[in-house]
Amino acid sequence: MQRFLRTVGGIAAFAGLAALTIAETAPFARAQAAAAPQAPKRQYKDNGEYDLYSQAFKDAQTPAKQIQDLETWAQKYPESDYKDIRTGMLVQAYSAMNPPQPAKVLEYASILMAKDLKTVFDDPQDGKRQILYFLFAATVASSAAGSAQLPNPTPAQVELGRTAATRLKEEAAAFFVPANKPAAMSDSDWTKTRAQLDTAADHTLLVLTIYQAEAIMAKTPRVPADCKDVAEPAYKKALVDHPDNAYVSYKLAQSLQCQQKESPEKVFQAIYEYERAAALDPHLGGAQPDAKVVPAYADRAYTGVHGSAEGLDELKAQVKQSPLPPDGFKIKTANEVATEKQAEFEKSNPELAMWMRIKAALTDPADPDYFEGKLKDTAGPKLKGVVVAGACRAKEITVGFPLPGQTDPVIPEVKLKFEAALSGKPEPNAEITFEGAVATAFTKDPFMLTLDIEKAKVEGLKTTPCTVAAPYKKK
């Protein structure tokens, strides 16, 4: 939050210079004083009041001294015709303090905001500029919400800030027309100044939406209930008005991640927002100086949930389309991916899958008596394997169960024993299918399961004639 405020404070300060450029001459009070002869509704009570104003104007470059002058003026002439002008000067002076005093700025700004600003700043030449400067000062002061200078703004201060920022954008839109551009100002500077005021207003509106959420997210540890009830709604609301703000997307992601224990499904939404923040601006508007941090974290969060980077490119493209994920957005977890792959494997290789389950049960240390208590002397299911070895006219062969696409040598894992000898030599690597084999023996090391079976129940078993050695002839 503090880094975010510092970043924004820099924007506001730059816009402040632009606002002073708009004012063009001196603070708005000077123009009002110069216009006094044309405004008979305002009159100084006497020369003493004029002297107090004159002194306050002279001290404009020393805000603390000017504030003392203005307070003296207010004490001696509380009902002055220039009361509103004096209040505006106080707004200006407190905003020029180092550091500024936003609470005081808002205190005096609230007095004028309750009035028609066009009647307060009614100078025909400079009135519109003075309104812009006044609204700018109130807007910037409100942007301190949640900072050390204004940690807990009142509802009235928040509402004042929103009103000032909104009015600033409206007045700027009306003021920045070609007819009002000073001759000495370039078109680019004129456009830039307007943009800076809009930036200051937009920033204040954003701060006033999320400052409470920022305070919650700054806590260690964070409170999931606060993340749910305050932070998440605030950041989502901010994204409605600022859909392309990477910082807000990132903070929304954190507020969602904060709730993962109570609401695991929100992790998927959090990953969406992390990836969107990375895609929009990995620097998060200046809050993150290293552009690699946010994308790397977002990708790790995705692979940590999904189990791989599969589908990540599609997600990166999707997050650019909308500030919030669609309803029901979900990322398949690693367990779900594994379950799907297992289901597909079993569908495509039912016999091999069955053998793998049998083998897993035989080697499960949690059930060391599985063979003797559950498998021995029982007829087994349909299995499919390949012949590994077998002697000529033998009563047994060894069988292995290669995985799809396996190129390594097949390891024998089952010994099939027949009631009668084979007629020839079994062909190696021939694929066979058998069912109803009865388990009779098992060793774990080396792994070997012995099954008794009738030759007629083995499909695909091929043999070649045994080679007979030529008889020995005596020379």
- Return all residues near 43 (Cβ < 8 A) that are at least 6 apart: 36, 81
Separation of alpha carbons 82 and 28, rounded Å: 12
Separation of alpha carbons 43 and 20, rounded Å: 28
Cβ(431)–Cβ(386) below 8 Å: yes
Cβ(56)–Cβ(116) below 8 Å: no
pLDDT score recorded for residue 125: 86
pLDDT score recorded for residue 467: 79
Token duo for residue 67: 């504030």
Separation of alpha carbons 354 and 375, rounded Å: 14
Q: How confident is the model at residue 469 (pLDDT cuts 50, 70, 90)?
A: low
Q: Where are the alpha helices (DSSP H) in 242-348?
A: 246-257, 266-280, 293-306, 312-318, 334-348
Residue closest to 314 by CA, chosen among 256, 271, 270: 271
Sheet holding 414-417, edge to edge: 438-444, 447-452, 414-417, 396-400, 383-389, 431-434, 458-459
At which residue do the structure tokens 């009041």 appear? 49
Tens-place pLDDT, residues 350-380: 999 999 999 999 999 999 999 999 999 999 9
Cβ(28)–Cβ(136) below 8 Å: no
3-class SS of residue 441 = strand
Share of the chain above pLDDT 90, in %: 87
Entry pTM: 0.76
pLDDT score recorded for residue 124: 86
Tens-place pLDDT, residues 289-343: 999 999 999 999 999 999 999 999 999 999 999 999 999 999 999 999 999 999 9
User: Is the confidence at residue 181, as pLDDT, over 70?
Assistant: yes
Separation of alpha carbons 8 and 143, rounded Å: 8
At which residue do the structure tokens 């049960």 appear? 361
Residue closest to 453 by CA, chosen among 378, 356, 400, 402: 378
Separation of alpha carbons 20 and 37, rounded Å: 25
Share of the chain above pLDDT 70, in %: 90
User: Is the confidence at residue 431, as pLDDT, over 60?
Assistant: yes
Q: How confident is the model at residue 470 (pLDDT cuts 50, 70, 90)?
A: low
Q: How confident is the model at residue 472 (pLDDT cuts 50, 70, 90)?
A: low
- Return all residues near 415 (Cβ < 8 A) that are at least 6 apart: 396, 397, 398, 399, 448, 449, 450, 451
Q: How confident is the model at residue 41 (pLDDT cuts 50, 70, 90)?
A: confident
Separation of alpha carbons 445 and 416, rounded Å: 18
pLDDT score recorded for residue 24: 39
3-class SS of residue 57 = helix
pLDDT score recorded for residue 473: 59
The dihedrals phi and psi of 49, each to the nearest 5 degrees, come to -65, -40
Q: Tell me the β-bridge partners of 414.
A: 399, 449
Residue 300 corresponds to which amino acid?
R
Cβ(448)–Cβ(412) below 8 Å: yes
CA distances from 38 to 42, 112, 127 (A): 9, 22, 14
pLDDT score recorded for residue 34: 42
Give me the chain's average pLDDT, please: 90
- When pLDDT is averaged across residues 96-124 and rounded to a whole number, the result is 94
User: Is the confidence at residue 383, as pLDDT, over 90?
Assistant: yes
pLDDT higher at 29 or 440: 440
The dihedrals phi and psi of 398, each to the nearest 5 degrees, come to -105, 145
CA distances from 128 to 31, 76, 123, 171, 179 (A): 11, 30, 8, 8, 13
User: Is the confidence at residue 18, as pLDDT, over 90?
Assistant: no
User: Is the confidence at residue 238, as pLDDT, over 90?
Assistant: yes
Cβ(277)–Cβ(284) below 8 Å: yes
Residue closest to 105 by CA, chosen among 135, 138, 131: 138
pLDDT score recorded for residue 261: 95
Q: How confident is the model at residue 28 (pLDDT cuts 50, 70, 90)?
A: very low
Tens-place pLDDT, residues 394-405: 999 999 999 998
Q: Where are the domains of the chain?
A: 2-218, 225-334, 349-464
- When pLDDT is averaged across residues 75-87 and rounded to a whole number, the result is 95
pLDDT score recorded for residue 196: 95
CA atoms within 13 A on the CB side of 63: 16
Class for domain 349-464, per CATH? Answer: mainly beta
Cβ(386)–Cβ(430) below 8 Å: yes
The dihedrals phi and psi of 465, each to the nearest 5 degrees, come to -60, 145
Residue 334 corresponds to which amino acid?
A
- Return all residues near 239 (Cβ < 8 A) that are at least 6 apart: 245, 248, 249, 252, 323, 324
User: Is the confidence at residue 21, as pLDDT, over 50?
Assistant: no
- When pLDDT is averaged across residues 423-438 and rounded to a whole number, the result is 94
pLDDT score recorded for residue 443: 95
Residue closest to 238 by CA, chosen among 262, 208, 206: 206
